Structure 1
């Protein structure tokens, strides 16, 4: 029998060998003709056999040997940057628009859908990394990050290396990279999955955003499991209405943008989840929820200030489950993660036992404890539904008053601003509305939209400076109270116009609480 130390040594050698081979392949590049085959792009100019060393969609990142994809965008069109890409050494361009190249010897390939071509080319360029991984995609408005982290915990109980890509970061097991978007662009995603493969990962989890589906970032990937959590108002500045938003989510589940996931885990407590379950092949779906007809369900639910207790029922068996995550919606998140583990053949009892050591998720109901006599919680809740769920849950376990600091993002769906204010002023004893990434929009306009949601009798102040709003909430708190600082969660910045400034709710709260202890004006 091989010892653990010996096994790790062997695995390390294999990982290093894989990475060396990958490095050599990158240096050599791939033939363009092989990459464009069945990609939807037709060669219009130049030789089909230059070697491509890199796939790029940002002209500023082009290096010699790059293939530049001129993608259409909401604000800018990639075709406007083709000349810059060529000047930087691109060996070819993929675009939906014919153009003149002058004296350049670059290759030009035309595609009716450059994004779909990018997805197909990227998968081929990185040698189909999804085929070597048990790939899980998690989609829904709320809870993706929590479910991804819980599922990573469960999928690792048998010792398998499991990577995780999402809002908080890109965990490749051997290293963790900061996240720049929930679902990376297709070429970035395939590169990250290929690195997981090279690091010896057997499984990979990823959050699948509606933008990621609509912009074909996950097109053509082979998912072993697809998970649907819920659908509530968000991103309507992009999608227009809820049915259009749902139609995009459905594309991931039913395979409109590539092969459908082999198995599905669907939340039937959600009305949109029920619709998806009814549309899917019954034998491929594992339903979950608190509903009586869910195949995997939670019963006998008990909620406490520092944990949740429930009975898990599945295939005639009952399992007592204690989770360190608080709130009913986190029971739903736990069921989603357990569904993923079941569909991949993991032992349920081992998964449940692993909850004892689960450390939680950054910026998701994260407590800030500097020894104060009241609770301070930082959470990412940035939709009306998420804020309502968070406040209802905290209200159940708070003996004193419940206070909330929240804001609404600029250049985003203005319709959800009144919904968030309605949730805050109807459930919290006092609210402070403040900034939350106003971007290019005037904060007073955002405040005006938010004021429309104030309920009769609701107490709320509008404070332009977020730090000051947090200060006021903490100064007002008495023993037994709870202060929820909502909207930003793990984010360490604020966006004002084109400027990004450091701002971390957790860090700011700690600093202010320490100042309170010292008796300073904070």
Structure 2
């Protein structure tokens, strides 16, 4: 695409130079591509100009800063001074990739907990209903069954538009996209035309970044108040969800959902009874009252199913088709994932890494635990330190046996993280500390009796553990499965 089409209205006018690709990170630059050097929160993209030029950039768009000189570019490399470049990235990426979100129906899903599960359920259900669907989120991006891994829940702005174009060109008609608070705050989804915005819940998380819960909530609300979605699917069982529903822009259609009767929700999913390893549920919407079985455990998954059902309802699917599609859906990897065991304890791996998520998972497992409930967990380093004693208190309250271990300590002292958890959990014979995560899992699985339930929380689907600046291969599922296989 020619630079003058990428930057319409820019003065002076860019040259009519064709660029074959765009990149906001120098490592992504290809020969003949455009490097977008933005003024970031920590550093300016021009710090990486030499790398971009070494990789063959034929043009550089740079964001001016007070007192900073224009970069010196070699002959043959076009330079564009673009004030407010960071704010313009969404429009630039949207133009370069030919408005990909106009080619597919994009559903943005946000909330503290449940984003991954709702997006995963939605993509599966749409495929069941004959609608080729893409997924973008924590587990990767692509079609279900052919995902490519991702480093971030919501990647950078250029990557978001690139992935949407790939999905559209690959035949997807709809896309379920997780949208994190960081992404909303940093403009990573700018330029995306969301058809539907969906909200799961709000509780404490990412306060190391946002500072306080009010700022975190404001970031989440941007998907509904600023992104221009025609439809908002909101969990009215959540207090912030109810507040958000009352503040939608004029003309936005509200689909209120809940996992309980007695709300103003137009769609509810209510429990009927336990059903094998899952639960039997009742879907009520419009004049329909239907029952279906789901393999997903717990009341919090009723919330997730309700949000997914609300999205499908907003997309025009009939209630019977929604119930049948959701009955076919499985939980995503690392979300209430039950590991196979012939005669040992029930071992569940879950991503729960906030006080609210840990409470929800433990309460759900308490309903199914005929004997003792074990909880193996830690807290990540370089993240919200205030939640550590809160999570310790939740685990001590709801679990019979607690094994505190390392999560991803990153650059922090692991002993200090454990001490913060113990400040909430307290000490006693039911509380153990085994810093080595593999040893902690092996201990809990080995000591648990048949009929016990062992929850391994915090890392879910993750296949590595970050210690210092080193990412080591590590899988909760693999360690726990080996421990189950080694039981006498």
TM-score normalized with structure 2 length: 0.94
- Contact persistence 2:280–2:294 (CA under 8 A): yes
- Contact persistence 1:172–1:195 (CA under 8 A): no
Which residue, out of 61, 64, 74, partners 1:94?
61
Compared CA separation, residues 172 and 36, structure 1 to 2 (3 A):
farther
Deviations 1:220-245 (A, max 9, x none): 21111110111111111111101000
Aligned to 2:154: 183
Aligned to 1:364: 335
Bigger CA drift: 77-86 or 383-392?
77-86
Distance 1:216 1:407 in 2: 31
Which residue, out of 133, 136, 153, partners 1:162?
133
Bigger CA drift: 324-333 or 187-196?
187-196
Shift, 1:102, TM fit = 5.2
Aligned to 1:77: 44
Aligned to 1:288: 257
- Contact persistence 2:221–2:244 (CA under 8 A): yes
Compared CA separation, residues 317 and 355, structure 1 to 2 (3 A):
closer
Compared CA separation, residues 482 and 282, structure 1 to 2 (3 A):
farther
Aligned to 2:87: 116
Distance 1:113 1:309 in 2: 53
Distance 1:215 1:231 in 2: 19
TM alignment of 1:98-497, pairs within 5 A: 98-101=69-72, 103-172=74-143, 175-255=146-226, 258=227, 260-280=228-248, 281=250, 284-289=253-258, 290-292=260-262, 293-303=264-274, 306-455=277-426, 459-497=430-468
Aligned to 1:89, the other structure's residue is in SS state coil
Shift, 1:247, TM fit = 0.6
TM-score normalized with structure 1 length: 0.88
Which residue, out of 65, 72, 75, partners 2:32?
65
Aligned to 2:483: 512
Aligned to 1:18: none
- Contact persistence 1:434–1:466 (CA under 8 A): yes
Bigger CA drift: 459-468 or 113-122?
113-122
Unaligned runs of 5+ in 1: 1-29, 518-522
Distance 2:421 2:82 in 1: 43
- Contact persistence 2:26–2:52 (CA under 8 A): yes
- Contact persistence 1:155–1:346 (CA under 8 A): no
Shift, 1:303, TM fit = 4.2
Aligned to 1:12: none
Distance 1:103 1:132 in 2: 38
Distance 1:345 1:104 in 2: 56
- Contact persistence 1:186–1:216 (CA under 8 A): yes
Unaligned runs of 5+ in 2: none
